[in-house]
Structure 1
Amino acid sequence: MSHGLILFAHGARDPRWAEPFEAVAAQVRAARPGVAVRLAFLEFMTPDLASAGDELAAAGCTEIAVVPLFLGAGGHVRRDVPGLLDQLAARHPGTRFVLQPAVGAAPEVVAAMAAAAVRALGT
Structure 2
Amino acid sequence: MDGLLLFAHGARDPAWAQPFERVAERLRTARPHTPLALAYLEFMSPGIEAAAETLAAAGCTRVHVLPLFLGTGGHVRRDVPLLIDGLRQRHGDAVEWLLHPPLGEHEAVLQAMCDACLLTLT
TM-score between the two structures when normalised by the length of structure 1: 0.95
Match in the other structure for 1:86: 85
Please state if 1:5 is matched with 2:4: yes
Match in the other structure for 1:74: 73
Aligned pairs (5 A) from 1:1-123 = 2-93=1-92, 94-122=94-122
Q: CA deviation at 1:58?
A: 2.1
Structure 2 stretches of 5 or more lacking a match? none
Structure 1 stretches of 5 or more lacking a match? none
Indicate the RMSD between aligned Cα atoms, in angstroms. Answer: 0.8
Q: Deviations over 1:39-88 (max 9, x none)?
A: 00000000011111122112211000000000001111111111101111
Q: CA deviation at 1:113?
A: 0.5
SS state at 1:92 partner:
helix
Work out the percentage of aligned pairs sharing the same amino acid.
54
Would you say how many aligned residue pairs link Structure 1 and Structure 2?
Answer: 121
Kept in 2, the 8 Å contact 1:54–1:88? The answer is: no
TM-score between the two structures when normalised by the length of structure 2: 0.96
